[in-house]
Structure 1
């Protein structure tokens, strides 16, 4: 399955009032190789195992495979992950015909807020809310796998 998305920094917490869902996410990476990442995630009370392929040049499209696993299995797999666990709260906000997922990072990445919108095609038009800032699609340092290796708190 292909994932087509664009990623933006968020400039204010105004998105929180519009959120229809809020979920805590804890995730780690069994593999952070840029050509294939393997992620273990606990989202609420569900577990997931996800494999993502390399992105296209623009950073908008990549292969993604995901399956649900038990939260207990996910917790055990988190113990096998590379150092650098990602902890965040995800807010879901409907804007026009799209759902924005806004991740407010905690722990080592506290202070970073990133929004993603999934699209049906690279050039699909979408409404941009006022709290959306600079586009960072394709900037590797904003990928969760890279944030686990070089957290936001270490950026200068």
Structure 2
């Protein structure tokens, strides 16, 4: 199991789209959305994944993550077993200096929400902040995908 270290931000413009190197539709849902651990099923393009994430540390920057690619057909079958509230989004990969931001443009019940994440090798690692990056929301549980599936952006 590895540790995921990331910071999360709101996005204040669509300028990132021109800088994106790739975009992919993602549909995901949760077999378990408990705050202590989540079990996620994801279809990203033509690939399926099963992911288990532990509880975030106190700062909200780090948590354990285990991910395994699974056959697309199995991921699609597992989606049918998941809790209600599937997440539908388009993920843009946006290179910025030495890092790649993952910018998620949500659809469905989370339409209007755009969130950017950057993965780091340590909690203290510095990174360039592009102009389109807005307020930091790292550690704010309501922005976790598992929580967006339970309490979508349209209800805020």
Name the structure 2 match of 1:73. Answer: 74
Which residue does the alignment assign to 1:93? 94
- How far apart are 1:49 and its partner, in Å? 0.0
Offset, 1:131? 0.2
Write the distance in 1 (CA, Å) between the matches of 2:124 and 2:117. 15
- The alignment status of 1:58 with 2:59, answered yes or no, reads yes
Task: Give aligned pairs, total.
Answer: 155
Matched residue SS, 1:33:
coil
Q: What is the distance in 2 between the residues matched to 1:147 and 1:72?
A: 25
SS at match of 1:12: coil
User: Which ranges in structure 2 are unaligned for 5 or more consecutive residues?
Assistant: none
TM-score by length of 1: 0.99
Where do 1:6-17 residues align within 5 Å?
6-17=7-18
Q: How does 1:4-153 map to 2 (within 5 A)?
A: 4-153=5-154
Task: Quote the RMSD (CA, aligned, Å).
Answer: 0.3
TM-score (norm 2): 0.99
Cα distance between partner residues in 2 of 1:105 and 1:36: 23
1:102-146 per-residue CA deviation (whole Å, 9 max, x = no partner) reads: 000000000000000000000100000000000000000000000
Runs of 4+ in 1 over 6 A off after TM superposition: none
Counterpart CA distance in 1 for 2:87 and 2:26 is 8
